[in-house]
Every structure is written in structure tokens, then in C-alpha cells.
Structure 1
Amino acid sequence: MNRRPDGTPLVHTRPARIALAALVLAATGALTVTFVSGGGRGTADAAASLDQFVPIEKVPPNVRDPQPAAGGSPGRFTVDCGTNGNGKFSPDNPVAQPGIRNGAEHVHDFVGNLAITANSSDADLDASGTTCRNGDKSSYFWPVVRIDKSVRNDEQVRQALAQTQPTVVCPSVGKRLRAVPTGARGTIDRLLADLDRQQAAANQRMTASRGRIDAAFNREVVDALRARRAATIRQISSTVTASGGNQPGLVSLVECDVSYDDMHARMPAGAHRASVTAAQAANPRIQCPSVRDKLPGVPAGALAEVNRNLDELDRQLSEANERLVTSRGQGGPAFVDNAILGPLRAKRIAVLDRIAIAIGRQAARPQGLDAFATCTLDQAPGTPGSAPTTAAPATATALPDPQGPDLELPGNTGGIVRPAQVLIEYRGNPVSRVVPMPKFLRALTGDAKPTSRGPANARATWTCSGFADRLADKYPICPAGSQVQRVHDFPGCWDGRNVDSDNHRNHVAFADRATGACPQGFRAIPQLRITVGYDIPRDVQLKGQYALDSFPEENHNPFSDHNDFVNVNSAQTMQRIATCINKGKSCS
């Protein structure tokens, strides 16, 4: 059986593929358009093509666990965080696209941490509430699954891609900086401008791939940009530190990505609407103006106080976003304005005033900071308290906000299927003891973009209950009475130093599939596995009418399944997890 570089099996019912089709469009020469199909192909029946679906019985057994050794850690610790009954949905990805609003370009289910958004700091996460019964404040999130009984029109995808100029998207460093000392402000501004120029140069290179997807070219552009950004961001951090400031954690902002989100704007918003009515799914978010990038250089004597107040602004926003989740359905149309946005504005005015006073004691007091006090609510139209919005124009490059009660996006439509079961478990290593994960460790598994980035990190995740010995990279068709399942295994090895890395992957690694041993220089940690199960009607499965939310260029590719995680367990809880696993017990 063919395997990927990480040892996971490639499962196919016909020859290997990344995308399900590669077409050549004749127009001023041959324009290569790579795309993946979802459901039907624009014909009269959505069941006309089932290329992405496979009866699970036809998938050969391919899951083989290494034999445990005497020095292994055979225990298991489970956490009950629910099934997203609170309805915390978001198109943010705080791990892979930190600081980028709607960065996922599709909607995620979130369980665990209630406050997390793309902009959450570690302190915000630590102060949050949680859906987990044991107090675990970690965040676990994955793309939603939808049922859409209308026809999926691949021609619209081809046409949208043919008109799309891919762009390079990078997190903003300026908006995440702590207070910059006065003496470093000029240098930092120059380095931030360098980052902008680097991104602009990468975007200029991307014009060579207009209307097509070239994974090798994309990797070349992003890898070169990452190297330049990493050097510049290290210089920003060292400059702030050398001037008496404190600037940790910028490594998470190094990685950029190639985006085809303009495809969303070029596909009709009503391309195919849901015929399935789901429970109210829309989850609003509060957006506040950034303050960190608006401040002047801060005198040395005011740095600590300004940083405390900047952190307080972040905490206030996270608290407000958490309250949106926990107070859902309370009050009338004005509840959010009166109970959340109004008090938030008052608290922000007080904090912004303290920042101005702290700077003003030793330098010119900054004026007009109160202009950044008012926050707004992002909410899909048609829900209580929402403001009307308009669809993104055809020339827009930004992803429109999710629309309506099902948080629909162009290309990602239909009723969201709520998980029937979510099993979160931390498992041991077959050949060694595990050490506790560090707090705030970020990790991801799978790859949301195997078409535009290549398949090296993608993983087969799909199966049915009762078929734990096999995983498919296609949507499974399950026997009657069996659940559709997604099994997400995270890396179980850690480099012993870092909680993140410049590509969000290099600080962790998968154990050897055959032996279970970690790579040299890595230590075994509790290995996270998340199993999500769905009760999807069998006729929907047979007709190919359920699909994963995805980036536009993936068009619901089942091989783009992925899952993300931020560890916010306390040190004591994580030690308890490791001890349980090392003793071979089953705990919760």
C-alpha cells in the first residue's frame, strides 16, 4: 500500500489523486485549472457523481498500531467538552491564521475555550470559561459538516478560479506588538514597512499563477517569504528587547499563506441554498479597533503600565465575546447593545485614558485614543440585533462574513450537522513515557489545502463507527445504524522547547508509524485524538449530499479535513494527564 511521508496510508478506490480533476480550458492558450469536486457536477441530479464517496466496506483495513513495549505508556485520559451545544462557530483559525479575521474562509465547530478568536492572547485564553467538564480551557476546533441537497455546480468553481488572482496573506505584526520603547519606534516602523514590502513582492510573484493552482510554485513563494519574514521578525523582537521592552511570541506571526478567497466573491452567494433547516447556528463576534499599532513610542518608565492596559483591552474583548456565547437568546433586540457593547465601550474608554496618562507623565500625551473605544458586532443578517449587510462585490478580495442562521458562505452552504458525539482523548506512546505538554502549545493535524499546498501534511480521517481498523480520504458511506466519523490524530512528539513554530508544525512531530518512536530530539507527549461522529441519514450519504466546509480551491475535498488545538490545561492538570497515561490507567 502506498503511504505518505508521515507513514499514513493513502486510501483510494482508483489511482492516486490530490484534486479530483485537472482540466485544460482553451482561452488564449491552455489555462490549467486544478479543482476538486463536491457532490454532483452541475447535472440534473446531485447524485450523478459519487467520486468523492466510498462505501466503508470497500476500504481495506489500514490502521495498525505499533506493539507496546515494556517502557511504554499505555494509559488513556478522556475529556468531555460537549458537542458545541453552545453554538460557538467561527471562520477564524487562531492557530494557523492568528490575527486574521475570517482567515479560515470556512466555518469551524469550537468546543472547550469560550472566548477564543483569531486575536486571543494566551492571557485571554487562560481567563476564559470552558465547555469542558473538568475545567480544561483548551480550544479544540474543526471544520463543520453540512448537508446540502441542491446540486453542486463545478462549472461555477472553474469560472471563479479562472478569474481569480491568488494573493499572499500574512498576519499583521504591528497589531500584535506590545508597547514599543521610544528609542526603538523608528527602527520598528522601518522593519514593519520591510514586512509590507516583502509581502508585496510575494504578491507580485503570484501574478504568474493567475487563474490556476500550482502547489509547487505556491510553496516556493511562501517558503522564500517565510525565511525573509522570520529574519525581520527576529530583528523586531531583539530591537524591542534591547531598548528595554518585552516582545515575546512573534514566531506565530511568521507564516503566510496563498489565498484564493476572491473565488468566494466571484461565486454567486445563492449558488446553491440549503433545503435542510438546522437549529439557529449563527454566532456573532465583537470587533474592536486595534490600539497597539496606533501608539507612539512609549517612555521606558511607562512600558509596564501601558502593556498591562493593552492586555486589559484584550481581556475585555475576550470576555465580551465569551458573553455573546453564554448569553445567547437572552433579552430583546437591544440586549447586546445595552448589556455587552455599551459596558465594553465604557471600560475601553477608561483603559485608553490610563494609557494616555501613563505616556503623558513622561512624554507628549497621545491624543484621540478614545476614538478606538467603540466596538461593533459582526452578525449575520436576519438574526436579532444584526445590522443589514451587503454581499461582497465581484471585485472584492476579502471573504464576506457568514450569512444567515446557518453561517453560509459562497461555496459553503447548507444546514450544519451538529456532531452526535465528540470524543477527546489523550493517549500514551507505545515505547516511552510521556512528558506533560507545555501550556499554550499550539498544534494542528491534516492540511486544509492539499490542492494548493500539496499533500505532504494531509491525512486520511474518514471512517464509520464499527470500522476503526480503516480510514479513508473520501467521504464514507456507512452501513445502516453506523455513524459517519472523523478521526483526527495529532502529533505525539514535542521538541521540548517551543509552543509554536514559524510554520505551526516544526515544534511537534508524529511518532514513527511502525515503531511508535519519536524522532531524534523530540519527546513523547500525551497524544491527542479527537473523534467526531455524525448521525447522517443513509439516503444523504448514498446521494453524496453531505460535505466538509473548505477553502474555495478545495471545493469540499474530503482530503482537506483538519483539526486544530491550543493547550490551556493548567500545569497541574497536564501533569495529572501524563501521570495517568504513564501508569497505564484510564482516567477522565
Structure 2
Amino acid sequence: MGRNTRKRRSPLATKVVAGAAALAVGGGGLVWANFYASAHESDSSHHRTRSAGAQVATIQCPDVGQKLRNVPRGARPGVDKELARLDEQITEAYARLASTRQAQSGDSAYVQNAILGPLKSKRTAALDRIGINIRRGGGDAPGGLDRFAECRGMGADQPGNGDGNGGQDQDNGQGQDGGQDGGGQDDGQNQGDNGNGAAGPFADDFVDINDVQPNSRDLENGLAANGDGGSTGSFTAVCGVNENNLFNSDNLIVAPGVDNGAHHTHDYVGNQNNNAFSSDDDLAGADTSCQNQGDKSTYYWPVLRLQDGTQEFDANDLGGGAEGNVGKILKATEAEIKFVGNQQSDVVAMPKFLRIITGDAKAFTNGVANANSSFSCTGFEDRQVTDKYVLCPEGSQVVRTSNFQSCWDGQNIDSANHRDHVAFVQQDGSCANGFQAIPQLQVRLVYDVPAPTVENGQVQNPYAVDGFPEQLHKPITDHNDFINVMDENLMNEVVDCINGGEDCQ
């Protein structure tokens, strides 16, 4: 379909993950069918052994990147590479989890001994290297980093309220409960694997838009910043829908200098030189798909796919099919990129190269504290849902919406965890803690998606966002990324339009 820029592979990871994917396609669906069945079978002696070890749907690990606050700038490249290594270790462990269901069914300690135990050892070594990098950079490494080494098995239920536990009431993979009750998988005995080893999405991940109550979205994240007072104008950036087919599975913000740092494929609009190795100078000197050539910002998000068996260009690549991101990439029919104002005050200019991430690609295992993006349907956009994909009626299209943080600390273009330098507005629309109001980026993506069918607890030809393999393609993991590369004149024009109550583009 397009090009996957700077796609490289780690031989070990390719072997492990591709092997799991091959098993999934070649028969793993049957193993996963037993997994779902065992979660609800009666506690008879005939089923007890099989049930004990086969109820862990995925792996939950502490998100170390979110725990770090004070990382010296000189230490960040080394720390970022170790954080990316932690992600790769989870990916490889998840691949082993998905490819060893038969072994798990006969050994209740298999997951702990063969998967989680070795993973803890690898994570301990990586965490130790993070501490070394911080100390070499002149900083003080947090004490007790090794407490973040241990990972747990978890079921396919939705996570809790942002405590980061993400289903940690499981028992380190011993399979006492598996978290399947209430997970919408009661009728999953014949669950197909959609070509990705039963890594989701599942029937319970979808909701009919008619069953969503208007104005019921209860997460505070992503509140629209503008209103009747303050700065009421807007600026629309017209940058296309990725007509240039620029894709890769890098993440310049979170994992600079690391191949496949996202473990899923991104759509890019705006800047045309965005990959893991792009410097700020590279971004500033790049071409842009935006009509206003002064806007070389990069706007990117995980692709949306239809799991229909299509073999895309990345079907055998890391970030793509080798990590469970399978099917036809759906290009948005509309990509509305708009900057708006603040309810309480004027906005100030964003600094060049400011980086903002909204949403959380790991929200399924992290918890919902940073979840943000929502799904809706055209004609129903007063109904937004964050933890479900939507089923739209005939003639209506799927809408993905992301409203970014719009308060800035006035000093930093990034922070160690890529979040602390920006914040969402408070309930009254103001910025807290001395932060300054900046133009709020709002991204609205519209897709013409063939409606999946959901019958008897099964979903056929579902759509889903790309994600880290262990996140099971949950809708709550949708996210959006932005690096500001507007020239000074254009940024001043954006600010003037917004503060002057005008609508510009």
C-alpha cells in the first residue's frame, strides 16, 4: 500500500514474534479457543488441570517510562534506549505466551516459570542500566528501580481507574481467575483469531452507537479548551490524509534512535522526514504535506486496520503482521487538524519542537489515567466513547477524536516521561500550577469502515487501532502525537487568530 520508512528488524525479535504469529495463523486459534472456554468451565477434575494454566490473556508490567521524573538531558538517549528494550522484552514474552497455550494448559506454573520469571531477570538488568545512565549523566537514579521488574499475568477485562495496576489482581500467571468473568468472553469457545493469534479485538470491545448516551464520556482528559469567553478563535491546518503513504513503526518522541520503537505502524501527515533518527534540524528542513508550507509540524497516530485477511506491505514486518497488527490499513477520508483557544485567557505561542502525546498506547495494562482519544460516528458526535469501538448505522462513518493538552510549563519542550511539561485545563478551563495556556490541538479523523458483524459473542471482520501486541488491540489504547515545527511567523499568526476570535487556516 505504501512505504514503511526506515523499517529495520531485530533478528531475535523477528524470530520470536514471527514464530508466534505463524503459530497463531496455523492453528493457534484453536489453542486460544480452549483458553476462552477454560475460563468458564465447571471446576470438574476433568477440566481443572487445563484451566489452571491457560487463563492469562496478556502480560502487565509497570510502565517505567511513566515513573521517571528527573532524568538529566544528557542521559535521556541511553535511558530511552533501555526503555525501548523493556518494551521489546514484553513483546517477546507476550509472543511466547501466545505460542505456548498447550504447554500452559498442562502446567499451572508454566507461565510463571517459563515466561514471567525470565522476563523479570531481563527487566532487572535493563533497569540497572537505566540507573547507570542516569548516574553517568550527573543525576540521582531513583532508589529501588528493581521493584518495577516484576510483571504479572492478566485477563482480557478493561483496566481500572488509572492506578496502573491494570488487572493485577491476577496471581502472577498461576491462573486462579484470569479476569474473564464480565470480560464479554462467555461465548468465546469458538472465538476466531482474526489472523493475529486471538490478540483482539473481541466482541465486547464494540458498542452500537445508539447504545451510547449523549454527553456521557466521563474522563476529564481531553476537555475542549475553548468556549464562550477567553480566546475564541481557531486555526485549521490543512495537511491531507497521508496521501504520500508515509508509514513507519518508529516513535521519535518516546523512542528516539530506536528502530520499531512503537511496535505498531503510524500514519503521518505534515512533516515528511519523521522517523526514529530525525533530528530537530532534519524536521526543520523537511518537506511538509501541509498547504501552509510554514507548518512542518508532524502529526501522527496509529493506523486503523480492517482485520479482513489483507496482506499489507508490513504483513511480515515488526510493527506490522509479525506483531499482530494485521489486515488492511484504512486511510482516513478526513483529517481535521485544528488549534483552538482557552476559556479563561489568551493563549501564548508554542515553542518550536514542543512535543505532546495525548492518550496512552498502554492504557489497557497501565490503567485509564492517561486514556483520552474517543470514538464516535458522524451524525452522533455528541456520543463519545473511549473504551469501545463503535458500530455505526448505514451511511454513518467512524470518527476518532483527540483533544491535546493545552497548558505548558513555560520552559520545556519535553520531559522525562513526555507528559509533565504539559497538562490539560482544569474544569473551569484555566491552567493550574503556573502553566500557560497554549493553542489546543484537536484532531478529528473520519473513516469509511465496513461495519463489523457481532453475533453470538463473536465479531467478524473487526476494525482496530494498531498497538503494542500485549495491549490486545483495545480501543482505550488509541493515542495521538504531535511535534510543533511551525515557523515563528506562522505560530504568531495562529496565536493572533485565536486571541482575536477569528477562524483562519
* TM-score between both structures, scaled by the size of structure 2: 0.59
The equivalent position to 2:296 in structure 1, one of 127, 137, 161, is 137
Deviation of 1:485 after TM superposition, in Å, equals 0.8
The equivalent position to 2:346 in structure 1, one of 429, 433, 438, is 433
Deviation of 1:21 after TM superposition, in Å, equals 8.0
Match of 1:58 in 2: 211
Q: Does 1:461 align with 2:380?
A: no
**Which structure is larger by alpha-carbon Rg, 1 or 2?**
1
Which digits, 9 at most, give the CA deviation of each residue in 1:350-379, with x for residues without a partner? xxxxxxxxxxxxxxxxxxxxxxxxxxxxxx
The equivalent position to 2:420 in structure 1, one of 506, 512, 522, is 506
The equivalent position to 1:74 in structure 2, one of 216, 232, 254, is 232
Matches within 5 A, 1:294-313: none
Residues 109 and 34 of structure 1: is their aligned pair in 2 closer, same or farther, counting only changes over 3 Å? farther
Which digits, 9 at most, give the CA deviation of each residue in 1:426-483, with x for residues without a partner? 0111111011111000001000001332321112411111222221120011121111
Deviation of 1:57 after TM superposition, in Å, equals 1.8
- Tell me, which stretches of 5 or more residues in structure 2 are unaligned? 1-156, 195-200, 218-222
Question: Does the CA contact (< 8 Å) of 2:344 and 2:430 recur in 1?
Answer: yes
The equivalent position to 1:534 in structure 2, one of 438, 447, 451, is 447
Deviation of 1:547 after TM superposition, in Å, equals 1.0
Question: Does the CA contact (< 8 Å) of 1:22 and 1:34 recur in 2?
Answer: no
Tell me the SS of whatever aligns to 1:538: coil
Matches within 5 A, 1:384-423: 401-402=318-319, 407-423=320-336
Question: Does the CA contact (< 8 Å) of 2:166 and 2:365 recur in 1?
Answer: no
Q: Which amino acid aligns with 2:331?
A: R
Q: Does 1:558 align with 2:472?
A: no
Q: Which amino acid aligns with 2:211?
A: K
Question: Does the CA contact (< 8 Å) of 1:69 and 1:431 recur in 2?
Answer: no
The equivalent position to 2:492 in structure 1, one of 565, 575, 581, is 575
Q: Does 1:126 align with 2:284?
A: yes
Q: Which amino acid aligns with 2:408?
A: W
Q: Does 1:43 align with 2:202?
A: no
Deviation of 1:565 after TM superposition, in Å, equals 0.5
Question: Does the CA contact (< 8 Å) of 1:22 and 1:33 recur in 2?
Answer: no
Match of 2:269 in 1: 111
The equivalent position to 2:410 in structure 1, one of 496, 513, 527, is 496
Tell me the SS of whatever aligns to 2:497: helix
- Aligned mates of 2:184, 2:255 — CA distance in 1: 25
- Aligned mates of 1:541, 1:133 — CA distance in 2: 41
Q: Does 1:484 align with 2:398?
A: yes
Q: Which amino acid aligns with 1:95?
A: I
Q: Which amino acid aligns with 1:138?
A: S
Q: Which amino acid aligns with 1:55?
A: D
Matches within 5 A, 1:57-206: 57-62=210-215, 68=227, 70=229, 72-135=230-293, 136-149=295-308
Question: Does the CA contact (< 8 Å) of 2:360 and 2:372 recur in 1?
Answer: yes
Which digits, 9 at most, give the CA deviation of each residue in 1:173-210, with x for residues without a partner? xxxxxxxxxxxxxxxxxxxxxxxxxxxxxxxxxxxxxx
Matches within 5 A, 1:184-263: none
Match of 1:209 in 2: none
- Aligned mates of 1:468, 1:146 — CA distance in 2: 22
Q: Which amino acid aligns with 1:573?
A: L
Residues 577 and 451 of structure 1: is their aligned pair in 2 closer, same or farther, counting only changes over 3 Å? same
Question: Does the CA contact (< 8 Å) of 1:107 and 1:549 recur in 2?
Answer: yes
- Aligned mates of 2:483, 2:418 — CA distance in 1: 11
Tell me the SS of whatever aligns to 1:111: strand
Query: Larger relative CO (CA 8 A, sep 6+): 1 or 2?
Result: 1
Question: Does the CA contact (< 8 Å) of 2:414 and 2:421 recur in 1?
Answer: yes
Tell me the SS of whatever aligns to 1:451: helix
Match of 1:424 in 2: 337
Question: Does the CA contact (< 8 Å) of 1:67 and 1:515 recur in 2?
Answer: no
- Tell me, which stretches of 5 or more residues in structure 1 are unaligned? 1-13, 150-273, 283-379, 382-399
Residues 449 and 20 of structure 1: is their aligned pair in 2 closer, same or farther, counting only changes over 3 Å? closer
Residues 15 and 505 of structure 1: is their aligned pair in 2 closer, same or farther, counting only changes over 3 Å? closer
Which digits, 9 at most, give the CA deviation of each residue in 1:375-395, with x for residues without a partner? xxxxx87xxxxxxxxxxxxxx
Which digits, 9 at most, give the CA deviation of each residue in 1:12-55, with x for residues without a partner? xx99757998896998x5477679999x9572667995200011
- Aligned mates of 2:363, 2:224 — CA distance in 1: 25
Q: How many residues matched? A: 326
- Aligned mates of 2:266, 2:290 — CA distance in 1: 18
* TM-score between both structures, scaled by the size of structure 1: 0.51
Q: Which amino acid aligns with 1:562?
A: H
Comparing 41-50 with 80-89, greater Cα deviation is found at 41-50
Tell me the SS of whatever aligns to 2:412: coil
Q: Which amino acid aligns with 1:509?
A: A
Residues 536 and 580 of structure 1: is their aligned pair in 2 closer, same or farther, counting only changes over 3 Å? same
Tell me the SS of whatever aligns to 1:476: strand
Tell me the SS of whatever aligns to 1:565: strand
Tell me the SS of whatever aligns to 1:553: helix
Q: Which amino acid aligns with 1:57?
A: N
- Aligned mates of 1:470, 1:122 — CA distance in 2: 39
Residues 122 and 462 of structure 1: is their aligned pair in 2 closer, same or farther, counting only changes over 3 Å? same
Residues 80 and 66 of structure 1: is their aligned pair in 2 closer, same or farther, counting only changes over 3 Å? closer
- Aligned mates of 1:414, 1:140 — CA distance in 2: 23
Comparing 485-494 with 90-99, greater Cα deviation is found at 90-99
